[in-house]
Amino acid sequence: KQEVTQIPAALSVPEGENLVLNCSFTDSAIYNLQWFRQDPGKGLTSLLLIQSSQREQTSGRLNASLDKSSGRSTLYIAASQPGDSATYLCAVPKEDSGAGSYQLTFGKGTKLSVIP
Amino acid sequence: DARVTQTPRHKVTEMGQEVTMRCQPILGHNTVFWYRQTMMQGLELLAYFRNRAPLDDSGMPKDRFSAEMPDATLATLKIQPSEPRDSAVYFCASGWEPDRGIETQYFGPGTRLLVL
């Protein structure tokens, strides 16, 4: 059974700092990996999706990398801002051709606080 | 700006009562997911529909939960009878699954359920 772990559970940094969030997964047979952002009381917003054939994806100040062989992904946030404060979750589907192939297994997230 | 809508946003009920949550997926999307989020368990997939057909509901307690898609614009999640342990935030998400695999999922704002 796929397990996704995110460390640390919470992180507090001063504004302007670069930071890295970590995600690890136990089953490397994944089709892709996604990073989501969740604001308090809100749903999830997809930030980046990395296909299994890719090694990284970039969007603005965000860069996500994927190393399937080691079962790890990182989300790099450059020049952090108070507006980046949220919980960041990573999720992987199971690579399977049958029904339920696209179930997402989520980590419990890293709660990020960027202090002005 | 297309988005997934969920109703109600908040629900307080007493143990034993029936609860129905509704979701309107983004027009044109062919997949719908129901998730439950709690502090202890994080996000868990309850059910997954593709082209209105249920493909996987293995994460759902069968004795009290049921999920349906009466038409392409409405998905429902019902709990009968509700129990205090069902208290959680229930998210609906929709997506478009092309032939080569599903892409990102778009989440609704969630229904926050409290069962007393």
Per-residue model confidence as pLDDT tens digits over A100-116:
446 788 999 999 999 99
Per-residue model confidence as pLDDT tens digits over A37-68:
999 888 899 999 888 888 999 999 999 999 99
Q: What is the mean pLDDT of chain A?
A: 90
Does the distance separating the beta carbons of A93 and B97 come in below 8 Å? no
CB contact set of A96 (below 8 Å; sequence gap of 6+):
none
Q: Mean pLDDT, to the nearest integer, of A4-19?
A: 96
Rounded Cα–Cα distance for residues A31 and A102 (Å): 9
By C-alpha distance, the chain B residue nearest A31 is B101
Model pLDDT, residue B101: 59
- Token pair of B70 as six digits: 């009466």
Q: Give the minimum alpha-carbon distance from A21 to chain B in angstroms, rounded to a whole number.
A: 17
Model pLDDT, residue A2: 85
pLDDT, greater one: B30 or B57: B30
- Residues in chain B with CB shorter than 8 Å from the CB of A108 are 42
Q: What is the mean pLDDT of chain B?
A: 91
- Token pair of A84 as six digits: 């980046």
CB contact set of B24 (below 8 Å; sequence gap of 6+):
B4, B5, B6, B73, B74, B75
Model pLDDT, residue B86: 96
Whether the CB of B104 is below 8 Å from some CB of chain A: the reply is yes
